[in-house]
Amino acid sequence: MIDNNTVVEVSRVTVEAAAGRTKLVTVPVDGGPVPMGMHGPVAEHYGVPLDTIEPHATTLDYVVGATTACLTGTLSGMLAKLGQPTTDGALTAEGEGTIVKDGGVLRIAAIHVRYRVRLAEDVNPAEVARAHDRHTRHCPIARTISGCVEITTDLELAEA
């Protein structure tokens, strides 16, 4: 059900089943196909012998990656408005998704993102911290999944 928000775009993807529980996903603009499958503990959970599949990132891995990337992009945009550089290693992020067994299904329970900002000399660290404190509210993916996935972040500031 769509509420009273204005529809801006309809994202269309295609998925084709491939060998070894792999899915080939084609996304807008970048095309594809992007292989999504399973590896390690996820394959073991679903009873798929590791020697019968070619390991690929899981769809859960892609959700963690997309969330980390979206949060980082949101923070980057906010920092750019402060005059804080974010390219060439000035802003880095590491995301970690906690995957749990819920009934018989695996799901992402939490995503934690750690940022490191190499602070420019003329940028106020308090303003950077304020942007960090607010950025999750402005991230499209965080707003989409935050009702079912706990999202946390922390920020480390380093001198230039």
Residues 28-62 have pLDDT tens digits of: 998 789 999 999 999 999 999 999 999 999 999 99
Rounded to two decimals, what is the model's pTM?
0.92
What pLDDT was estimated at residue 1? 59
- In this structure, CATH architecture of domain 59-159: 2-Layer Sandwich (3.30)
pLDDT in tens, the chain (160 residues): 567 789 899 999 999 999 889 999 999 998 789 999 999 999 999 999 999 999 999 999 999 999 999 999 999 999 999 999 999 999 999 999 999 999 999 999 999 999 999 999 999 999 999 999 999 999 999 999 999 999 999 999 998 7
Residue 32 burial (CB count, 10 A): 15
Strands (E) located in the chain: 14-17, 23-27, 31-36, 91-102, 105-119, 150-159
* DSSP for residue 6: P
pLDDT tens per residue, range 17-36: 998 899 999 999 987 899 99
Contact residues for 143 (Cβ-Cβ < 8 A; gap 6+): 137
Distance in angstroms (rounded) separating the CA atoms of residues 105 and 75: 32
Query: Domain-by-domain residue ranges, the chain?
Result: 14-52, 59-159
19, 30 contact by CB (below 8 A): no
What pLDDT was estimated at residue 31? 78
